[in-house]
Structure 1
Amino acid sequence: MQSKGAITFVAILIGLACVFQLSFTAVTYIHENKASKYAEEVVVAEQSKPSFSEISELDQAFYLDGIRTEAKSKYLDSIANKKIYLGYTYKEVKEKELNLGLDLKGGMNVMLQLDMAELVRSCAREKTTPEFDQAMALARSRAAETHTDFITLFAEAWNEVAPNQRMSFDIDLDKLSGDIRNKSRVTNEEIISLLQGEADAVINNSYTVVERRINQFGVAQPNIQKIARTGRILVELPGVKEPERVRKLLQGTASLEFWQTYTYQEIQPFLNELNNEIRERNEALEAEAATADTVELEDPEDSELKSIEEELAAATGDVSTSASAVEKANPLFAKLQPFGGNTACLGLAHYRDTAAINAWFRDTHIEFPNDFVPAWSFKAFSGPGVELDTYYELIALKNIAGKGAVLDGSVITSARVNYNQMTAAAEVSMTMNSAGAARWEVITEQNIGKQIAIVMDGSVYSYPNVQNKISGGNSQITGRFTQAEADDLATVLKSGKLSTPARIVQEQVVGPSLGGASIRSGMISFAIAFLLVLLYMALFYRRAGIYADIALLCNVLFLFGALVSFGAVLTLPGIAGLVLTMGMAVDANVIIYERVKEELRAGKALRLAIADGYKNAYSAIIDGQLTTIITGIILYFFGSGAVKGFAAVLIIGIITSVLTSIFITRLLMEARLKRNKDISFDSPATKNFLKDTKVNFLGMRKWAYIASGVVILICFVSFFTKGFTFGVDFSGGRTYVVRFDAPVTPEEVRAATMEEFGEAAEVKQFGGASQMRITTKYKVSDQSQEVDKEVEAKLYEALKDFYATPLTLDGFTSTLDNPNGIISSDRVDASVASEMQRDAIIAVIFSLIAIFGYIAIRFRNWTWGVGGVSSLIHNTIIVVGFFSIFTGVLPFTLDVDQQFIAAVLTIIGYSINDNVVIFDRIREYRTLYPNRPLYQNVNEALNSTLSRTINTALTTLIVLIAIAIFGGESIRGFSVALALGVAVGTYASIFVGTPIMYDLNVRKEKKLEVKTAKKK
């Protein structure tokens, strides 16, 4: 083996890099564990107070949960910008930890659909022609049936309805932001192009708005993606605890506005009065508390709470446990540091204090000016002596005559970043339409020497000084912007007042209790499968197996390190992907070891046998893994959410497993050979396992064809008679996982929901007798928030009597705060469900075509590609048929959904490995023995690879069975599909794919002989 030193050095370097990347996750866990301990001590202290007993028992849990959450957040906030690890702050360390998906961490997944039809309507004139209305109606009807973007559909509909009519009669060109040189001669094609530009701008700007809103919401590690050419934005929010607030936040239209402002000097007297009011209120509360009973905590030497509080105080820079005299005298100004001067900024406040300041302004009895509106800056203030990303400016807006903004963003036609010729500083230039320019001229003339605030969704982006009257609608905004800040502001200005509403067409909410259970079950299945694979390889291949185990350990390290480095999200199917990758990782070692054993049986010395074994196994390993990567890539692009996480793990895992199984094991063997030590490749019990078999597989092919044909016929009968149970992502509707505090039966729950909804709901046990999954099609076509609430209320009415401990509607629906009630929900619009079905079919077809092309090209014969794909189609039909035949029969769900399609695609990619290894051996035998009949070469290839075929199937089945048993209800159907696919795929590679390839080759050769004879 050449370059051993370089390979060893690179392996060690990669290992250290992976350890470093994973260390951030460990550090995050340590500090969050400290925060949790601090929070629990605060909760214990709160329970010790006499006032706690006055809270009703029903509300105590919610009250303590709020105290716990607040205390933990307070601790973590205190170290957010403190360097805790190798110069990294907690905030930076948190961003680098391993990302967990919603199904593991809990949270919310939302798909937003922007209404492109409304965009076109907003660009039309007030009065439109009947042809325009007809084209819009036709485009809307087609939009529900196709993936084509709405603007293209509108253009096609227009050409059908009014091919000779100018579109400019209906589209107001002044509302389009593109460059139109001659409005009187603009063509329909040009208008469509401009509308496409408007649509792209709306999608990009909406993405920016959504991203900004989510960042303001304070969600850790959000994932926001634009879905190309669909007008959709996917938002994943791990750990979010207020789904209703998120819905409102995401579905509101963005509003850009220009506000007049007050100066600090004008508002200062009122701030002084407010400061005095707060001080008097605090003094009254302290006097009242002094007369009440107090509870002393434990002695500081014995109390962990005291030590943590001291640590917290040190982290925040406050070493005193009581408020200072300055804070008592000036409570407002202790939190809001005044700016002073002739500026609209009233002061700076730490982000933790903004909520308290808002409450003071809201609850005050001080009579501020009626038109005074306080608003916070969007970005944190940056300046000397100010902690980064910590302090925000409070701006004094002026609500003129109760009308709010003096101008809104709908008048802006363009905005771009320029650079000042004198200072080279970035500034933003904006252009307004004619109406806006006239209004802007008046506003700027009236506010010379004052500041105008640019406000987006209630946050102030900038408040530049007006130096003189601005005519023509062209303005420059300066403000010591960085390049990125100027780009962001230009994007916000261009977004204007978005008239294109967004609606939620798909939503998934997972409670933390379900997420925690998923983590536990996932990790248990991972650990058990890992140990089983290690044990199997060590027992079967002895020392060589131990080397494979070491490579597997390195593979797990590299895989997790790569996941963290790439920012990939680990989901529950992703854990299944990890476990599956372990089975596939040893597949490469099995191929190598079986080949080495063949070389040893041929009489070669150990060193030469190892060298030739590795060399001869490379082609089979690379071909087999490449086909799996092909399906993984297709799955990644067509899947979403947890399925995309599974695909990412699968792709990365295949790459790392190939590298470790080839290089790590070889390095270990070379090191042992260098010491002249022996290496065993089998144990006494496995030495003759499937050795020198002489099975006539091709002779049995007709019986195999008949058996497979009968099974496939039964599957098709089930397809057309029984059908499938589609998951909500393929059928549309609403699904809820509901946890009860006592065992219930599906029949009882079904009857109760039938009575309330007036139609049968699908009810299945989900992970235990006290947990049910309920799917309803009630008002499936109406996905509004009002209907969501109505469905939840009806579900509550139907199920409330099943609870031993009474549960309120709020408690039942508080997905993330209550251990019982709804612990997970999923909602999918019918149009999205139909698209998911189409995407699934397309993904399967693409995978089959891609694999056929690869096999045909790699083996230079189309018959080999047909044989391989025939085996895959056979496997797919049987697995799909199993789900049709046994749905509702087995004690777990067998839904056809995205996870099922992921399983089918994985089966396609994995099952071809067996065919590739066999085909590779047939090709080798045909080269070595060109004069032997193909029948003999094929049979001997099947027999010589039989040990590898069975061994790899067993190692993979071991891990899949572990997932099915221990992995939890959420992925049981998924793992069963994979296990069945591996078992059927092993059979098909021997009795279906290879025999079909043989028969096609024989037929091809006979035709060639006939043609040759005719020519003679």
Structure 2
Amino acid sequence: QLEFWETHKNNQFMNFLAQANEYLKTIAVDQINNTEEDEKSSIDDLLADVEAQDSTSIVSINPLLDLIVGYGFQGGPVLAQFASKDSEKVMGYLDTPEVRKLLPRNLRYTKFAWGKPEQNSEIIELYALKSNRDDIAPLSGGVVVDAMQSYDMSGSPAVSMQMNSQGARTWEAMTGKAFRETTNIAIVLDDIVYSAPGVSSGPISGGRSEITGNFSLNEAIDLANVLRAGKLPAAAEIIQSEIVGPSLGKEAIQSGIYSFIIALIFVLVWMVFYYGFAGIFADVALVLNILLIFGILAGLGAVLTLPGIAGVVLTIGISVDANVLIFERIREELKKGKGLRKSVADGFNNALSSILDANITTGLTALILFVFGTGPIKGFATTLLIGIATSLFTAIFITRLFIDSRNEKGRRVSMGTKLTQSLLSNINLSFLEKRKIAYVISSLILTTSLISLSFQGLNQGVDFVGGRSYTIRFDKIISPNAVQSTLINTLGSAEVKTFGNENQLKITTKYKVDVEGLAVDNEIQNILYNSLLSFLPDGYTYDQFVNGSNEKQVGIMSSIKVGPTIADDIKKNSFLAVIGSLIVVFLYILLRFRRWQFSLGAVAAVFHDVLIVLGVFSLTYKFMPFSMEINQAFIAAILTVIGYSLNDTVVVFDRIREFAGEHTKWKFNKTVNAALNSTLSRTLNTSLTTLIVLLAIFIFGGESIRGFMFALIVGVIVGTYSSVFIATPVMYDTHRGKIVTDEGNGL
């Protein structure tokens, strides 16, 4: 909520600050000596809290004045400057009824407010605003019609502001009074003073004003945004935040890039090994695909996070899958005795349907994730959607361009090597006969998963339960139990776990989760510092513990804060995302295959895969050496598993539909088995390639993404199994022997 307040001059408060300090000193001495047993006032409670947090402050000579680190210029609006970490303590002193009684009669309604902290500064300024009995600002931000960053006569950044007619009249009166009394007008958003300009040229009429000062361009833009926020109906509050220090951020970027390069090298080598010369063309298309993705992301101004990098790497698997489908179809056409050019043309045409269906189903889950996801998860969905589009382009057009170009020159393109040319090509397994065994195995695994979920549950992260989470690094191996015992008296039920290396812990707490503001953040950081001081290097200061730097190796490396409201929203949106993706995919498969049995088989496989992934997390989260929290990233993994499982299933269904049209006299079980056998090479090849990619990220990627990758690895393994042994058998058993053809049954 934006408000405009008149300010007091700082020289009016010098005596008050001295008197308040003397009063606080007296109370502190009385507490130490335990001479008074009467009911404690609110200031007593505050000083008692200070005693618990910092024993040195109790014996401080000047409880208030010793906290001052600087003053504003004489007669200005800034009373004094304090360290940010002391802001709650100072405001507690000043808002105590006993201290406020020391204010002169003409200052009794003074409203104390903090200024907006400067970037990378631990100093915060205290202002005194001219309030009233009702604590209502003389002018609210709702009168601001527009505000924009501009330039003054000297070419320096400034801010232009326009008010409506009602606001213009009040503004003229306020600026006139400020000019006569040489005071300032504070621009306050949600009780934070963003600027307090003076009035240099008399009353401002007409409602149009220009605010000048020693602004940088970014500061002027920020102030214009603050003024425009006056039209908001409610105050803004931070309901979710995530801070990553530069040192940890640098490590995360390095691990993300390394894992990406390693995964890419594995895939490039594998494609050449398996498909020979054609694999080289696929590699060129893959590299071009990656360049296109990064180019589009750069054009959009997108911020690439670790989940975003995971989305790009997952795109590698999608791109490879499209090329594998094409090359396998070309191989089949060559085995029929067709010439290379004809085989290439027919192979691309026959693979197109499977490629489109598979990518559309994956794209639908990514779209659902984009709609319901927030922050980094939306970034993951964005890169995945872009990757699907670019993969289709490079696989269908670029790869064919290279192959056709080589064919036109009379040079043969090999579709395999001596080791792989006939690999998995003559397999004739009866998958349907083994379906009952698969049903029993899956039933046992699902039952175990459900029992574990019922009794052991899942390790829900801050995203789902709300609270604050801090990643803290030490210079030696620290026992989580020792830290937890230390924190129990200050933060209550804090959860402490090893996070990555044994010298790094993740501390999660719900302490004052409902309270917003910088003061609470500083209070918790103070508690952490004082509680963990014995575990830190000798002489390690609070500033070193809290502040980030590129060389930082000890202290708070990152922090996450999620309010209870947003936690509920995240849970609701996650549920909607999963259910929404299932409904959308069910309808799409029904539309494409025009039989509910296909949709049922696909959705049954998806439920099977999701429950098993959840069950694995429930069974193993207590002893796995990495974090397995259920958070937004995990939901992204679940939706990706859904997309992958459907991708695999749709390819098999598409081949069943094709075989049913070609072999109308075959029994349905023969058609299904033949389709499964014919796609087995593609299924295993794509799964193996995707697993290589995921394992590379899992092993070489950052700690924060390891649980996410583990969920995907389990999902790919289970998804590959379910497309063959769950989705197809369920579809078969519910068909009741009906023959499926392209024409007769409208598929």
What band does the TM-score fall into relative to the shorter chain? 0.7 to 0.9
Q: What do the CA deviations read for 1:232-281 (whole angstroms, capped 9, x no partner)? A: xxxxxxxxxxxxxxxxxxxxx5334699xxxxxxxxxxxxxxxxxxxxxx
2:715 maps to 981
For 2:129 and 2:146, the matched residues in 1 are separated by: 32
1:458 to 170, 190, 195: 195
- Give the distance between the partners of 1:414 and 1:755, measured in 2 at CA: 48
2:546 to 808, 813, 823: 813
Do 1:464 and 1:478's aligned partners in 2 also have CA atoms closer than 8 Å?
A: no
Residues 446/765 of structure 1: CA separation in 2 closer, same or farther (3 Å cut): closer
Tell me if 1:969 matches 2:706: no
Tell me, what secondary structure is at the counterpart of 2:140? helix
Amino acid at match of 1:986: T
Give the aligned residue type for 2:540: L
Across the aligned residues of Structure 1 and Structure 2, the Cα RMSD in angstroms comes to: 3.8
Per the TM alignment, residue 634 of structure 1 is displaced from its structure 2 partner at its CA by: 1.2
Contact kept? 2:439, 2:726, Cα under 8 Å: yes
Which letter does structure 2 place at the counterpart of 1:544?
A
Using the TM superposition, give the Cα deviation of residue 934 of structure 1 relative to its aligned residue in structure 2, in angstroms.
Answer: 1.6
Find the residue that maps to 1:738 and give its secondary structure.
strand
Distance 2:511 2:467 in 1: 7
Within-5 A mapping of 1:116-195: none
Partner of 2:462: 728
1:782 shift after superposition: 4.1
Contact 1:412 1:432 in 2 (8 A): no
Paired amino acid for 1:543: F
Quote the residue 1:771 is aligned against.
504
Deviation at 1:493, TM superposition (A): 7.0
- Superposed CA offset, 1:843-882 (max 9, x none): 0000111111111101111211111111111111101111
User: 1:801 pairs with 534, 537, 540, which one?
Assistant: 534
The aligned runs of 1:105-504 (5 Å cut-off) are 253-256=1-4, 370=75, 408-410=138-140, 413=143, 415=145, 428=162, 430-432=164-166, 437=169, 456=187, 457-458=194-195, 475=206, 477=208, 500-504=234-238
Is 1:936 equivalent to 2:680 in the alignment? no
Measure, in 2, the Cα distance between the counterparts of 1:401 and 1:256: 10
Residue aligned with 1:737, SS? strand
Aligned partner of 1:559 in structure 2 is: 293
Q: Give 1:641's match in structure 2, choosing from 375, 383, 402.
A: 375
CA distance change for structure 1 residues 924 and 771 in 2, over 3 Å: closer, same or farther?
same
**Does residue 915 of structure 1 match 2:646?**
no
Mapping of residues 815-964 of structure 1, within 5 Å: 815-816=548-549, 818-964=552-698
Question: What is the CA deviation profile of residues 755-803 of structure 1, one whole-angstrom value per residue up to 9, with x for unaligned ones?
Answer: 55453x3222222111111222334444554443343333333322223
Whole-Å separation in 2 of the counterparts to 1:465 and 1:1003:
91
Give me the whole-angstrom Cα distance separating, in 2, the residues matched to 1:612 and 1:465.
82
Matched, 1:536 2:270: yes
Cα contact 1:816–1:823 (8 A) shared by 2: no
Given that 1:636 and 1:644 are in contact with CA atoms closer than 8 Å, whether structure 2 keeps it comes out as yes
**C-alpha separation in 2, matches of 1:757 and 1:705:** 49
Matched position secondary structure for 1:503: coil
Distance 1:876 1:401 in 2: 57
CA offset digits 1:713-766 (Å, max 9, x no partner)? 00000001111111111111221111001122333333333455453x322222
Aligned-partner SS, 1:764: strand
Deviations 1:909-950 (A, max 9, x none): 121111111111111111112232221111111111110011
1: CA distance, partners of 2:360 / 2:599: 15
Counterpart amino acid of 1:776? T
Q: Distance in 2 between matches of 1:429 and 1:789?
A: 36
Q: Deviations over 1:130-155 (max 9, x none)?
A: xxxxxxxxxxxxxxxxxxxxxxxxxx
Letter in 2 for 1:859: F
Mapped partners of 1:692, 1:828: distance in 2: 55
Residue type matched to 2:529 in 1? Y
Q: Map 1:588-599 to 2 at 5 A.
A: 588-599=322-333
What is the deviation of 1:577?
A: 1.5
Give the deviation of 1:505 after TM superposition.
2.3
**Residue identity matched to 1:573:** P
Would the aligned equivalents of 1:455 and 1:462 in 2 still touch at CA under 8 Å? no
The alpha-carbon distance between structure 1 residues 727 and 691, as it changes in their structure 2 partners (threshold 3 A), is same
- Quick one: distance in 2 between partners of 1:797 and 1:824? 18
Letter of the 2:361 counterpart: T
Structure 1, unaligned runs of 5 or more: 1-252, 260-360, 374-398, 418-425, 481-486, 1007-1016
1:839 Cα shift? 1.0
CA distance change for structure 1 residues 622 and 441 in 2, over 3 Å: closer, same or farther?
closer
| 1:362, distance to aligned residue in structure 2 (A) | 7.2
Q: Report the CA distance between 1:445 and its aligned residue.
A: 9.3
User: Is the partner of 2:602 in helix, strand or coil?
Assistant: helix
Change (3 A) 1:872 1:442: closer
C-alpha distance in structure 1 between counterparts of 2:736 and 2:416, whole Å = 38
Moved more, 453-462 or 919-928: 453-462
SS at match of 2:239: strand
CA contact (8 A) 1:255 1:497 kept: no
- Structure 1 residue 495 displacement after superposition: 5.6
> How does 1:17-28 map onto structure 2 within 5 Å?
none
The answer to whether 1:675 aligns with 2:423 is: no
CA distance in 2, matches of 1:478, 1:780: 40
Q: Deviations over 1:168-187 (max 9, x none)?
A: xxxxxxxxxxxxxxxxxxxx
Q: Which of the residues 506, 522, 528 maps onto 1:789?
A: 522
Measured after TM superposition, the shift of residue 569 of structure 1 is: 1.5
Same amino acid, percent of matched pairs: 43
Inter-partner Cα distance in structure 2 for 1:990 and 1:518:
37
- Paired residues of 1:507 and 1:827 also in contact (CA < 8 A): yes
Q: Give the SS at the match of 2:471.
A: strand
Compared CA separation, residues 407 and 793, structure 1 to 2 (3 A): closer
Cα distance per residue 1:689-728 (max 9 Å; x no partner): 1112111111111111111111000000000111111111
Residue 327 of structure 1 is matched in structure 2 by none
Quick one: which amino acid aligns to residue 496 of structure 2?
V
Residue of structure 2 in register with 1:1011 after alignment: none
User: Is residue 2:431 matched to residue 1:697?
Assistant: yes
Change (3 A) 1:402 1:748: closer
Cα deviation code 1:380-407 (max 9, x no counterpart): xxxxxxxxxxxxxxxxxxx999899x99
- Does the CA contact (< 8 Å) of 2:175 and 2:202 recur in 1? no
Using the alignment, how far apart are the partners of 1:966 and 1:887 within structure 2?
A: 20
The answer to whether the Cα contact below 8 Å between 2:660 and 2:739 also exists between their aligned partners in 1 is no
CA offset at residue 431 of structure 1?
Answer: 2.0
Assess if the C-alpha contact under 8 Å between 1:733 and 1:827 holds in 2: yes
Take 1:546 and 1:592, find their aligned partners in 2: how far apart are those partners?
A: 14
In structure 2, the partner of 1:328 is: none
Q: Which runs of 5+ in 2 are unaligned?
A: 8-69, 79-126, 148-159, 188-193, 212-220, 741-747
- What letter matches 1:932 in structure 2? W
Kindly provide the amino acid, as one letter, of the partner of residue 506 in structure 2: R
Cα 1:814–1:937, aligned 2, differ >3 Å: closer, same or farther?
same
Report what 2:728 is aligned to: 994
Structure 2 CA distance for aligned equivalents of residues 401 and 618 of structure 1 = 69
Write the distance in 1 (CA, Å) between the matches of 2:412 and 2:382.
Answer: 39
Task: State how 1:643-658 maps to structure 2 within 5 Å.
Answer: 643-658=377-392
**1:98-126 Cα shifts (integer Å, max 9, x gaps):** xxxxxxxxxxxxxxxxxxxxxxxxxxxxx
Aligned residue identity for 1:458? S
Equivalent-residue separation in structure 1 for 2:644 and 2:664 (angstroms): 30
Q: Secondary structure at the match of 1:504?
A: coil
